[in-house]
Amino acid sequence: MGKFYITTPIYYVNDNPHLGHAYCTILADFFARYHRLMGDDTRFLTGTDEHGQKVQKTAEKEGITPRQLADRVVSRYQNLWKKLDISHDDFIRTTEERHSKGVLAILKLMEEKGDVYKASYEGPYCVNCESFFPEKDIVDGKCPDFGHPVTVLKEESYFFKLSKYQEPLLKLYSEQKNFVMPESRMNEVRSFVEKGLKDLSISRTSIHWGIPMPGDEKHVLYVWLDALSNYVSALGYGSGDDKLYNEFWPADLHLIGKDILRFHAVYWPAFLMSAGLPLPKHVFGHGWWMKDQNKMSKSLGNIVDPVPYVDQFGSDVMRYFLLREKPIGTDGSFSDEAFIDRLNADLANDIGNFASRLTALLDMQFEGKITAGDGSLKEAALKQLSDYHDAMGKFQPKEALEFVWTFISQLNKYLVEREPWAKPKTKESEDTLSEAARALRLIALQIAPVMPHAAGTIMKSLGFRPALFPQFNWDDPQETRSYRISNLFPRVDKKEYFADVKKPEEQKTEKKVDTEEKVEQPLVTIDEFRKIVLRAGKIIQAERVPKSSKLIRMIVDFGDENRQIVGGIGKKYQPEELVGKTCPFVFNLEPAKLMGVESNGMIMAGNLDGEPILLQFLEDVPPGSKIS
């Protein structure tokens, strides 16, 4: 038993969470739950990155303050983590005071070391990456990492002597071979550092949304120096109470996406070396999720929101799918088909059928009683358990789960070979079923980090007390009473699913409904009606479109996104009375420009003497809910 401190990246609040963010947090949750089950003193941190130019710009575009934007988006992250059963111990927001105290404490140590100086700087700057790049790396005015447009920025700036840490970093990589994981990423990082490190600009005067530089407040701190420090500020570092810091730092694992490796594997250890603080043990750069083989992006409109899947199938299924479908280090592609296939094959079929068959036999033959068994599965079970632990030790969830599922198919075979149904109520049948039940109990323990609900159901139905790994004892003499487990994961009829569910998806790309035609043809089929997506939206901002007596520009919250919608309701309503109201909207109307202002949808209204009258719901409905 030891301690385990694991972190996710802190997520930017300029956009809503999607499947990629969910993946990283689920991975971290999986490892945290595993270590808790190992009896380790575990701490799991996640949070949000709320400063910097990206957030400032998005807020400006929406006409709200960065703080308002952060408050809105942070609750979306927190709600999603609740939905996905994320068991973090702490959630840090970089706008909290405890955070800025931690950042400034680190900065002070870096200054005391003589590693910070002020100079003037001019160079290509990428707002998206929040980074300067050397002129030679810019191709066609685009940043080398992601091809975002860059602009030339001239600033007086504070610099960190990153160049001084080139050798110490290379030494770190060679001494701590798996500081960066997987190995391929370690090689990337090493060759980046070998090419030479320039000093790093760590302040900005061009933006104001950040932590002011002490004593020179027209500078705010570079967002990555600010953000990376969250891993210690959340432990109270710099806030006068070092208890958690002393207990948990250094982190055992910074889990991040491969795109932010350089910040974590180069800048962060250099900052820590400069401040004289211990370095994290591992930085793991996971691969990305794409959608149907394409990169997820707003412009392609293919960003996957995990929420509808979780609402329909439960969090266990989504968690399992993401961890099992692709190796942690490589990219993978999400598709509805792959999701349903995995659910049917691994969950409904393999584990679901095994659990229901076994508990039904126990119930029919022995009134559910599980006894000592004959030890015939013990060796295979313990071998499988040790393979699972090995994979977990190497941070390989897919492989760990594969070992469990191979064992499940062995168990199905075991039942087929020993045919307990053909020898009802015999000692042999009792032994077979009791052995299999012990094996199922071990499976429940191993899947608890990925599917806490299913694991809990199995444990409870088998009458075993939940145990930690170190306390697990195959030969546990306790006799227990089990109950039938039925339909642990209901099978999904693929045909029906794609008939019902896929349609609205497909319609996104289909031609929009011709409303003129509908006037001449008053009867529509249900399928035609379904083409029109209606949703409840909460008006969070409203103002008059300049020079128009009728038009009001609204920002409408649909749960997973905010949209600008313009409505001709300004004669009847004042903007102020609209804010906070939830109304029905046509959600998939073609974008249109009204007096030069883009509208992405339509507010619905009744009609009284030629004036539009808004509609409201009889009960509160959450923003984004579908209207059918």
User: How many angstroms separate the Cα of 568 from the Cα of each of 52, 430, 573, 604, 608?
Assistant: 36, 74, 10, 10, 14
Shortest separation between residue 482's beta carbon and ligand ME8, angstroms: 40
The span of 4-12, 30-38, 310-318, 555-563 binding ligand ME8 (CB under 6 A) equals: 4-12
- Of the candidates 55, 244, 296, 539, which one interacts with ligand ME8 according to CB under 6 A? 296
User: What does the alpha-carbon distance between residue 37 and residue 174 come to, in Å, rounded to a whole number?
Assistant: 32
In the bound state with ligand ME8, the residue whose beta carbon lies nearer, of 227 and 542, is: 227
Shortest separation between residue 273's beta carbon and ligand ME8, angstroms: 17
User: How many angstroms separate the Cα of 92 from the Cα of each of 8, 50, 100, 353?
Assistant: 11, 10, 11, 42
Shortest separation between residue 262's beta carbon and ligand ME8, angstroms: 11
5 near ligand ME8, rule: CB under 6 A: no
Shortest separation between residue 309's beta carbon and ligand ME8, angstroms: 15
232-261 residues near ligand ME8, rule: CB under 6 A: 256-257, 259-260
Round the CA-based radius of gyration of the chain to a whole number and report it.
28
Which tokens is 364 given?
């029919």
The span of 17-25, 354-362, 516-524, 598-606 binding ligand ME8 (CB under 6 A) equals: 17-25
The span of 3-11, 343-351, 383-391, 491-499 binding ligand ME8 (CB under 6 A) equals: 3-11
Shortest separation between residue 391's beta carbon and ligand ME8, angstroms: 21
CA angle, residues 15, 17, 19, in degrees to nearest 5: 135
The span of 222-230, 271-279, 544-552, 594-602 binding ligand ME8 (CB under 6 A) equals: 222-230
125 near ligand ME8, rule: CB under 6 A: no
81 near ligand ME8, rule: CB under 6 A: no
Shortest separation between residue 284's beta carbon and ligand ME8, angstroms: 11
User: What does the alpha-carbon distance between residue 213 and residue 456 come to, in Å, rounded to a whole number?
Assistant: 50
Query: In the bound complex, which residue of the shown chain has the CB atom lying closest to ligand ME8?
Result: 257
Site size for ligand ME8 (CB under 6 A): 19
227 near ligand ME8, rule: CB under 6 A: yes
User: What does the alpha-carbon distance between residue 396 and residue 329 come to, in Å, rounded to a whole number?
Assistant: 9
Q: Name the residue with tokens 């009792």.
A: 430
The SS3 call for residue 284 is strand
23 near ligand ME8, rule: CB under 6 A: yes
In the bound state with ligand ME8, the residue whose beta carbon lies nearer, of 84 and 554, is: 84
In the bound state with ligand ME8, the residue whose beta carbon lies nearer, of 11 and 81, is: 11
- Of the candidates 228, 377, 551, 569, which one interacts with ligand ME8 according to CB under 6 A? 228
- Of the candidates 4, 9, 80, 249, which one interacts with ligand ME8 according to CB under 6 A? 9
In the bound state with ligand ME8, the residue whose beta carbon lies nearer, of 24 and 377, is: 24
288 near ligand ME8, rule: CB under 6 A: yes
42-71 residues near ligand ME8, rule: CB under 6 A: 49
73 near ligand ME8, rule: CB under 6 A: no
User: How many angstroms separate the Cα of 383 from the Cα of each of 137, 329, 407?
Assistant: 51, 26, 10
In the bound state with ligand ME8, the residue whose beta carbon lies nearer, of 24 and 150, is: 24
Residue length, the chain? Answer: 628
**Alpha helix ranges (H) inside 92-202:** 97-112, 166-175, 183-194
DSSP symbols for 228-264: HTHHHHTTTTTTT--HHHHHHPSPSEEEEEGGGHHII
User: What does the alpha-carbon distance between residue 174 and residue 164 come to, in Å, rounded to a whole number?
Assistant: 17
295 φ/ψ angles, rounded to the nearest 5 degrees? -65, 135
In the bound state with ligand ME8, the residue whose beta carbon lies nearer, of 289 and 320, is: 289
User: What does the alpha-carbon distance between residue 287 and residue 23 come to, in Å, rounded to a whole number?
Assistant: 10
421 near ligand ME8, rule: CB under 6 A: no
* Segments of 347-393 assigned E as strands: 369-370
The span of 58-66, 195-203, 288-296, 594-602 binding ligand ME8 (CB under 6 A) equals: 288-296
In the bound state with ligand ME8, the residue whose beta carbon lies nearer, of 20 and 612, is: 20
Which tokens is 167 given?
């050798």
- Of the candidates 20, 102, 329, 537, which one interacts with ligand ME8 according to CB under 6 A? 20
Does residue 542 contact residue 578 with C-beta atoms inside 8 Å? Answer: yes
User: What does the alpha-carbon distance between residue 226 and residue 130 come to, in Å, rounded to a whole number?
Assistant: 12
Q: Name the residue with tokens 């993978």.
A: 332
The span of 5-13, 146-154, 318-326, 547-555 binding ligand ME8 (CB under 6 A) equals: 5-13
- Of the candidates 16, 21, 266, 418, which one interacts with ligand ME8 according to CB under 6 A? 21
The SS3 call for residue 152 is strand
In the bound state with ligand ME8, the residue whose beta carbon lies nearer, of 286 and 441, is: 286
The span of 16-24, 78-86, 502-510, 599-607 binding ligand ME8 (CB under 6 A) equals: 16-24
Shortest separation between residue 598's beta carbon and ligand ME8, angstroms: 26
Shortest separation between residue 258's beta carbon and ligand ME8, angstroms: 7
In the bound state with ligand ME8, the residue whose beta carbon lies nearer, of 10 and 84, is: 10
The pairs formed by 539-542 with CB atoms below 8 angstroms and a separation of 24 or more are 539/578, 539/579, 539/580, 539/581, 539/582, 539/583, 540/72, 540/579, 540/580, 541/62, 541/63, 541/64, 541/579, 542/575, 542/576, 542/578, 542/579
Shortest separation between residue 257's beta carbon and ligand ME8, angstroms: 2
24 near ligand ME8, rule: CB under 6 A: yes
User: What single-letter amino acid sits at 132?
Assistant: F
Residue 101: HSE in the Cβ half-sphere, 13 Å Cα cutoff? 14
Supply the DSSP symbol for 154: E
The span of 197-205, 223-231, 533-541, 600-608 binding ligand ME8 (CB under 6 A) equals: 223-231
User: How many angstroms separate the Cα of 94 from the Cα of each of 97, 226, 509?
Assistant: 8, 8, 39
559 near ligand ME8, rule: CB under 6 A: no
Q: What is the largest CA-CA distance in the chain?
A: 88
Interface contacts to ligand ME8, rule CB under 6 A: 9-12, 20-21, 23-24, 49, 227-228, 230, 256-257, 259-260, 288-289, 296
